[in-house]
């Protein structure tokens, strides 16, 4: 019982030893970002690049304030952001409630694997933008088409990750639960699903990344509101500061989603990477 705290102590000692004489990776990353920002500021400040191609950081920030208060193309920045987030939120929710059961079925059942595996493997490698025109023909250019496109993009990674997680559950763990009297449904609910949770969350992370890029691309083509639409319509009028701002916001949102999911993963599956 005393071995664990001892091991922890020596591990932390080693880590602090390392950081004692070298700067942390995070500091390096922050310095890189700061240098880029400085370079951006310098080239615009000294007039090396025409503001039409690259507006100054201050101009972009100012435009950001303007967008947040008065808006662009009949909607404020928040409304653009909100409709993008709403689309991905609905698509993600639908994908989670459908892809996880399908993934469990693929992982547990030979017939379900025979049905779904080829279907998913067939459409997964196709870039969603390649079948967007077909979706538009079938379902029009309304909200439904965009949500459907994102849904399809998120569905495959979650279903595949779930199936992998379900298939790799330790058979001894299943036997142990059975010998404690678990029924088939209890096995899925109490053993298989929590065991596969780390893989499922990884699938959600990948799916959300794919979904976000698909969303922005879909809005470039057919939308009247949303971050992708904002960037696209600004580009048509050469309003470069809005374009730059839109790209930055898209990147920040993607980064925030990733960080949020990593935090969720740490909270929900703290045993991951602990020898289990």
Partner 1 sequence: MAYLELDHVSAHYPGAAVPVLQDISLRLGPNQLTVALGPSGSGKTSLLNLIAGFVSPSAGRISLDSQPVQGPGADRGVVFQDDVLLPWQNVQQNIAFGLELAGISRPAREARAQELLRLVGLAEFGERRVWELSGGQKQRVGLARALAADPRVLLMDEPFGALDAFTREQMQALLLNVWKRTAKPVFLITHDIEEAVFLATELLLLAPNPGRIVERLSLEFGRRFAEGESARTIKSDPVFIETREYVLSRVFSQQNTLEEAL
Interface positions with partner 1 (CB under 8 A): 1, 3-4, 170, 172-173, 175-183, 186, 190-191, 194, 197, 269-271, 274-276
Ordered alpha helix ranges (H), the chain: 3-21, 25-45, 57-69, 77-108, 110-123, 128-139, 143-167, 171-179, 184-186, 193-221, 227-236, 240-268
**Is the CB of 108 or the CB of 190 nearer to partner 1?**
190
Q: Which lies closer to partner 1 via its Cβ, residue 125 or residue 181?
A: 181
Structure letter (DSSP) for residue 74: T
Q: How far is the CB of 198 from partner 1 (least distance, A)?
A: 10
* Angle (deg, nearest 10), helices 143-167 and 128-139: 130
CB of 275 to partner 1, least distance (A): 6
Q: Least distance to partner 1 from the beta carbon of 186, Å?
A: 5
The token duo for 146 is 């965009």
Least Å distance, CB 3 to partner 1, is 6
Shortest Å, Cβ 241 to partner 1: 49
Identify which of residues 9 and 35 has a Cβ nearer to partner 1 in the complex. Answer: 9
Q: How far is the CB of 166 from partner 1 (least distance, A)?
A: 16
Comparison of 201 and 210: residue with beta carbon closer to partner 1: 201
Nearer to partner 1 by C-beta: 70 or 274? Answer: 274
Residue 98 makes CB contacts below 8 A (sequence gap 6+) with: 155
Which residue, 1 or 48, has its beta carbon nearer to partner 1? 1
**Residue 99 near residue 158, CB atoms below 8 Å:** yes
- Spacing of C-alpha 208 from chain mean position: 3
Helix (H, G, I), strand (E, B) or coil at 111: helix
CA distances (Å), origin 64, targets 70, 83, 243: 10, 18, 11
As given in the structure block, the two tokens for residue 155 are 């569905």
Q: Pick the closer one to partner 1 by CB: 82 or 194.
A: 194
Taking the C-alpha atoms of residue 262 and residue 174, their distance in angstroms, rounded to an integer, is: 28
Residue 75's φ and ψ, nearest 5 degrees, are: -140, 145
Residues in the chain: 276
Residue nearer to partner 1 on the CB measure, 26 or 184: 184
Nearest Cα to Cα of residue 114 among 154, 187, 163: 163
- Closest CB 216 distance from partner 1, rounded Å: 36
The least distance separating partner 1 from the CB of residue 9, rounded to whole angstroms, comes to 14
Q: Which tokens is 100 given?
A: 């996880």
């Amino acid at each position: 019982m005393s071995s664990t705290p001892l091991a922890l102590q020596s591990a932390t000692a080693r880590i602090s030893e390392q950081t004692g004489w070298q700067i942390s990776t995070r500091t390096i990353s922050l310095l890189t970002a700061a240098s880029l920002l400085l370079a951006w500021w310098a080239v615009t400040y000294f007039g090396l690049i025409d503001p039409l191609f690259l507006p100054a950081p201050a101009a972009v920030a100012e435009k950001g304030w303007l967008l947040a208060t008065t808006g662009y193309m009949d909607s404020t920045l928040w409304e653009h952001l909100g409709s993008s987030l709403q689309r991905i939120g609905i698509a993600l929710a639908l994908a989670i409630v459908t892809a996880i059961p399908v993934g469990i079925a693929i992982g547990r059942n030979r017939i379900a694997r025979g049905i779904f595996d080829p279907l998913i493997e067939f459409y997964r490698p196709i870039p969603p933008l390649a079948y967007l025109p077909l979706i538009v023909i079938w379902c029009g250019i309304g909200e439904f088409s965009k949500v459907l496109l994102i849904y399809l993009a998120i569905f495959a990674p979650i279903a595949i990750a779930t199936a992998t997680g379900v298939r790799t559950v330790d058979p001894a763990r299943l036997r142990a639960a059975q010998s404690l009297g678990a029924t088939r449904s209890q096995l899925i609910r109490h053993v298989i699903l929590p065991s596969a949770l780390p893989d499922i969350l990884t699938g959600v992370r990948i799916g959300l990344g794919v979904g976000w890029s698909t969303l922005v691309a879909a809005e470039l083509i057919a939308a009247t509101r949303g971050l992708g639409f904002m960037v696209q319509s600004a580009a048509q009028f050469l309003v470069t500061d809005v374009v730059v701002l839109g790209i930055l916001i898209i990147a920040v949102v993607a980064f925030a989603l990733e960080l949020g999911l990593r935090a969720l993963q740490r909270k929900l599956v703290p045993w991951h990477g602990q020898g289990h």
